[in-house]
Amino acid sequence: MHHYRRSPAISFLVSTCLFSIFLAKDVLMTYNGQYVVPPGTYAPSRSLGSGDEHTYLLNLTFDEEGEFDFEVVLDVDSGDADLVVAGPVLTPDGTPARAQMQRVSDHFTGQEYIFLSRYSIQKAGQGLYQARVRGYGSDNSYRLTLEKTFSEREPPADEQAVLEAIYKDCCEHEGSCRSLSGSVRAAKPNGDLTSFCHVPNQGCDKDGHITALRLPGEGLRCDFPQAIRRLPWLTRLGLEDNNITGRMEEVLDILAPLSLESLLGAGRTCRGPPQPEWWVSAGH
């Protein structure tokens, strides 16, 4: 396992920030005028208006604890706000950098959540990352949380079987289902599989249960996948811009057992529990 030693400058900065967050929830150290958020929850006292943006820095480096993943959570108490994380913008030795990775969470309801896999951070580079909170309501109150997580996330066998079924039924055309191709045995019969939980823009909880399945414009051609009903922890589903067909009643029956907070299908964005008018099937 690779171990990383932080530069003295960033280590001092972050340890000072970690101390300060316990003193006052709205007092953080800054770097070049931007607040640096250490692990924990930060609730700013300043308001975020419609069209406004608050910018923070996150220290995404590995330390003596080894390698781990990061979770960035935006809980919006009132109004509506989105979350964008990009970086690194500053390397561990203090050198400015051009961001190699960007993740966006912009749902209409529920918390905004970004999972940053240790493998994605290894590829993009460690250092300070920039988090931007964008306001869309007139008065947006929020809490921003940065958390280290050490669990090895991997879907349980029954949920992995759902991914295999979707790939088998919908992804027979060359170049389709890029987000699934590295994580299912049907696409890699002999090679090592990448855990679906670590595929960019997908989502799992700490136990590996799939919470977000996003396959927009990935060339799926099939009836609406019945196997999706077997993902009981799924809250975000994105299947827009694919050739997926199905009768409205059948689709609703498949989605009925799920607690979806966001559904994107046939080019439409939907909020709350599935409604009959949401799904516009191709070919029907």
**Residue 121's CATH number:** 2.60.120.380
Question: Model confidence over 43-94: pLDDT tens digits?
Answer: 888 878 888 999 999 999 988 777 899 999 999 888 889 999 999 999 988 8
| pLDDT at res. 29 | 73
| 182 domain residue, yes or no | yes
Please report which helix (H) or strand (E) contains residue 264, including its range: strand 262-265
| 281 domain residue, yes or no | no
| 29 domain residue, yes or no | yes
| pLDDT at res. 229 | 97
CA distance 224 to 244: 6
Question: Model confidence over 213-270: pLDDT tens digits?
Answer: 999 999 999 999 999 999 999 999 999 999 999 888 999 999 999 999 888 875 444 4
Q: Hey, what amino acid is at 168?
A: K
| 282 domain residue, yes or no | no
- For the segment 6-14, the average pLDDT, to the nearest whole number, is 42
> Which of residues 149, 176, 205 is at a domain's end?
149
Do β-strands 210-214 and 69-78 pair in parallel, antiparallel, or remain unpaired?
Answer: unpaired
> How many Cα atoms sit within 13 Å of 194 on the Cβ side?
16
Residues 120 and 233 in one domain: no
Residues 141 and 168 in one domain: no
> Which of residues 88, 118, 149 is at a domain's end?
149
| 258 domain residue, yes or no | yes
- For the segment 5-23, the average pLDDT, to the nearest whole number, is 38
| 250 domain residue, yes or no | yes
Using CA atoms, how far residue 277 sits from 81, 82, 269, in Å, is 26, 26, 12
Cβ-based neighbour number of residue 177 at 10 Å: 22
Using CA atoms, how far residue 177 sits from 102, 116, 228, in Å, is 21, 21, 15
If one counts the domains in the chain, the total is 2
Q: First-to-last CA distance in the chain?
A: 53
| pLDDT at res. 268 | 43
Which stretches within 155-226 are classed as H helix?
157-170, 178-181
| 1 domain residue, yes or no | no
> Which of residues 93, 126, 149 is at a domain's end?
149
pTM metric for this prediction? 0.74
Phi/psi region, residue 275 (left: phi>0; alpha: psi -120 to 50; beta: rest), is beta
| 253 domain residue, yes or no | yes
Residues 136 and 197 in one domain: no
Q: For residue 215, what are the domain limits?
A: 157-271
Residues 14 and 128 in one domain: yes
Residues 111 and 184 in one domain: no
**Residue 181's CATH number:** 3.80.10.10
Q: Hey, what amino acid is at 251?
A: V
Question: Model confidence over 122-169: pLDDT tens digits?
Answer: 999 999 999 999 998 778 889 999 999 988 899 999 999 999 999 999
User: Residue 63's beta-bridge partner residues?
Assistant: 66
pLDDT over 90 (residue 2): no
